[in-house]
Amino acid sequence: MINTHPSASFPANSQVNGQTNSQFCYYIAIPEPENHLLEVELAIADWQNETLDLKLPVWTPGSYLVREYAKHLQDFEAIAADGKALKWQKISKNHWQINCGSNHEIRVRYRLFCNELTVRTNHIDRSHAFFTGAAVFMYAPEYLPDQSDRGYQVQITKIPNHWQIATALPEIAKHTFYAKDFDTLVDSPFEIGIQERHEFEVLHKQHRFIVWGEHNANMARVVKDTAALIKVEAEMFGGLPYDHYDFILHTSNGFGGLEHRDCTVLLYNRLGFRKEESYLQFLNLVAHEFFHTWNVKRLRPKGLQHFDYDHENYTGSLWFSEGTTSYYDQIFPLRAKIYTPQHYLKLISKSITRLQNTFGRNVQSLHESSFDTWIKLYRPDANTHNNQVSYYLKGELVSMLLDLLIRSQTNNLRSLDRVMQIMWERFGKTEVGFSEAELHEVIESVAGVDLSGFWQDYLYGKRELDYNYYLEPFGLELRSSRTNVPFTGLTLKSKNGLAEVEKVEFDSPAQKAGISTGDLILAIADIRVNADNFNERLQDFETGTTIPIAIFQQDLLRHVQMTLQEPIATHFEVVQISQASPSQEMNLQLWLNI
């Protein structure tokens, strides 16, 4: 049996911020953190139907993958006010139906196993408990269409005495928090445990860093640089749209971020703050997730205006929601003078290099990448490199080209900033979802030109991005370089001292030779090789040579023949051209805030 909470009565219809309190109150207990179990009791008062349907979300907004949170749920039970068990049945993977009969006060209890440390899952150990709403809180589906008068309470009833509680939800009583609707509840994760707190004020609004885990960060510097980022991002939109904001930072060995309306959750390498380049990458992460305060959390495509927690929510505009955000997460630290224009151009060069080394850009359009995120981006397989392109990556670069195009067309009187401002005024402030046509119309109105060809080539089509066409007015050009290593189409990684095939590019010499992902490369022309010396060994042969390769393929020793091709460009760099004109220099200065 799950521990009960005898002191907790059924929620009364009290007033919170002028609203009637909900029938729904969740009691959360973590009596033994070392077993990774979160105990949940949901008390529902004044229920009028003979049956009660409850569901657990299958995904969480901001992370577009059906994650099947219900797989971690166990020990489900339902009881009436007199303590008698109520009959229930499971209807589907995440759907429970309770036979209430004439009972109007219902309690539902269950446990959740929480041992997955990411920004979109739950994690409990001896030092803390982190949980995200979609992975914890059941809901009644019939309540979601109209949430205007539905409130939800969360009471933390049992945790270690020395633990602190952090959440963006308002605290209405000790350890009791209130959400005006289920969307807000899902969007307000909890960090409970041993934590650092760093409070600071920006533009008359309160902010906090809630830090869990050992780390080597200089938090004074982190707070200072974050405050600078908040200011430059708020400047674009004319202020901050919240009363307070939390940065929940988990320092471990991973990387990631998930935006929420009044907070964000960040996961970063605990030892990744001392080296300057790694520290600046952390600030790009901060800038990215914080920009979602506007772009995604309030300014959303129509497909994400109303969340369906039971199914995929489709949109073709994630290239704008995430890709444009990725463009700005590199621009804002530049505007805040956290790093130099030279560092920014280095970041652009890395992004272009990544895209140009992704064969999938020739197969999947940017629009398709946005729409198919549910089945592709978060589910990589052996062919991902060949048939997918990231809407984060290509969306970032398409957004850059749009910014340069608008600036060129308007003599720097307007930019992509103006697009964001109009979208915010028209759709973000009112939180009305925008259509693809409405987004395109706003961009074209700012640019002052018809962009139907641009959309066809770069959004719906798979034409190579013409970087130099857009960079030239700014005195920049893209240069490519190649190594002297013959092209094979292989990407290798070391596994137990052997060279394991990580990727095989489509229609490459390796694929034509019958080499597949997961194969182990043993020797080239009877000389043993590993992942470190493979390319060096290839340089012993001329382009066009057919070489014998020994491999293990599904534990069988095989010998294949591979014909080497000419080296290809693998590195791309954006550089300033010599003898730039005064107009080119001025354009560059205005773009890069020099």
**Average pLDDT over the chain, rounded to an integer:** 94
- Dump pLDDT digits (tens) for 304-327: 999 999 999 999 999 999 999 999
- CB half-sphere exposure, 12, CA atoms < 13 A: 5
φ/ψ of 557, rounded to 5, equals -75, 125
Q: How confident is residue 1, by pLDDT bands cut at 50, 70 and 90?
A: very low
φ/ψ of 209, rounded to 5, equals -100, 120
φ/ψ of 360, rounded to 5, equals -60, -15
Q: Which residues pair with 501 in a beta bridge?
A: 492
Its sign, for the CA torsion 527, 533, 539, 544, is: positive
- Dump pLDDT digits (tens) for 338-397: 999 999 999 999 999 999 999 999 999 999 999 999 999 999 999 999 999 999 999 999
CA-CA distance, 560 to 499, in Å (whole number)?
A: 16
For residue 592, the model assigns a pLDDT of 95
| Least confident range of 149-158, 177-186, 372-381, 562-571 | 149-158
Q: How confident is residue 16, by pLDDT bands cut at 50, 70 and 90?
A: very low
Residue 104: name the closest of 125, 86, 91 by CA. 86
Asked if residues 60 and 186 have their Cβ atoms less than 8 Å apart, the reply is yes
- Dump pLDDT digits (tens) for 61-70: 999 999 999 9
Domains of the chain: 15-190 (2.60.40.3650), 196-291 (1.10.390.10), 302-463 (1.10.390.10), 490-566 (2.30.42.10)
Cα 128 to its chain centre, rounded Å, is 23
268 or 148, higher pLDDT: 268
For residue 149, the model assigns a pLDDT of 55
Q: Which two tokens stand for residue 15?
A: 């007033």
For residue 21, the model assigns a pLDDT of 56
Q: Which residues pair with 15 in a beta bridge?
A: 20
Asked if residues 521 and 501 have their Cβ atoms less than 8 Å apart, the reply is yes
Amino acid (1-letter code) at residue 25: C
- Dump pLDDT digits (tens) for 173-227: 999 999 999 999 999 999 999 999 999 999 999 999 999 999 999 999 999 999 9
Q: Is the pLDDT of residue 460 over 50?
A: yes
- 452: buried, middle or exposed (CB in 10 Å: 19+, 13-18, 0-12)? exposed
313 Cβ neighbours under 8 A, 6+ residues apart: 64, 303, 304, 307
For residue 190, the model assigns a pLDDT of 98
Q: Is the pLDDT of residue 562 over 90?
A: yes
Q: Is the pLDDT of residue 240 over 60?
A: yes
Q: Is the pLDDT of residue 2 over 50?
A: no
CA-CA distance, 223 to 258, in Å (whole number)?
A: 19
For residue 147, the model assigns a pLDDT of 53
Angle between helices 276-291 and 219-237 (to 10 degrees): 40
Q: Where would I find the H helices in 308-423?
A: 318, 325-335, 341-356, 366-371, 384-387, 391-409, 416-423
The answer for 312, left when phi > 0, alpha when psi is -120 to 50, beta otherwise, is: beta
For residue 206, the model assigns a pLDDT of 98
SS in 3 state form for 97-162? EEECCCCCCEEEEEEEECECCCCCCCEEECCEEEECHHHCCCECHHHCCCCCCCCEEEEEEECCCC
Its sign, for the CA torsion 482, 484, 485, 488, is: positive
CA-CA distance, 103 to 48, in Å (whole number)?
A: 8
CA-CA distance, 183 to 262, in Å (whole number)?
A: 12
For residue 18, the model assigns a pLDDT of 42
For residue 465, the model assigns a pLDDT of 98
Q: Is the pLDDT of residue 11 over 50?
A: no
Q: How confident is residue 9, by pLDDT bands cut at 50, 70 and 90?
A: very low
For residue 162, the model assigns a pLDDT of 94
- The helix (H) or strand (E) run that includes residue 477 is strand 476-482
For residue 22, the model assigns a pLDDT of 59
CA distances, 65 to each of 70, 288, 317, 388 (Å): 14, 20, 16, 16
Per-residue DSSP letter, 46 = S
The CA-based angle 370-358-290, given to 5 degrees, is: 50
For residue 145, the model assigns a pLDDT of 60
For residue 7, the model assigns a pLDDT of 38
Q: Is the pLDDT of residue 20 over 90?
A: no
Q: How confident is residue 143, by pLDDT bands cut at 50, 70 and 90?
A: confident
For residue 142, the model assigns a pLDDT of 84
- Dump pLDDT digits (tens) for 122-141: 999 999 999 999 999 999 99
E strand segments, 292-343: none
Q: 3-state DSSP call for residue 203?
A: coil
- Dump pLDDT digits (tens) for 477-505: 999 999 999 999 999 999 999 999 999 99
For residue 265, the model assigns a pLDDT of 98
Region 516-528: mean pLDDT is 96
| Least confident range of 115-129, 149-163, 514-528 | 149-163
Region 166-175: mean pLDDT is 97
Region 24-48: mean pLDDT is 96
Asked if residues 428 and 298 have their Cβ atoms less than 8 Å apart, the reply is yes
Cα 5 to its chain centre, rounded Å, is 36
Parallel/antiparallel/unpaired status of strands 24-29 and 152-158: parallel
CA-CA distance, 189 to 178, in Å (whole number)?
A: 13
For residue 3, the model assigns a pLDDT of 44
Q: Where would I find the H helices in 202-264?
A: 219-237
CA-CA distance, 488 to 481, in Å (whole number)?
A: 17
Q: Is the pLDDT of residue 115 over 80?
A: yes
Region 25-43: mean pLDDT is 97
Q: How confident is residue 593, by pLDDT bands cut at 50, 70 and 90?
A: confident
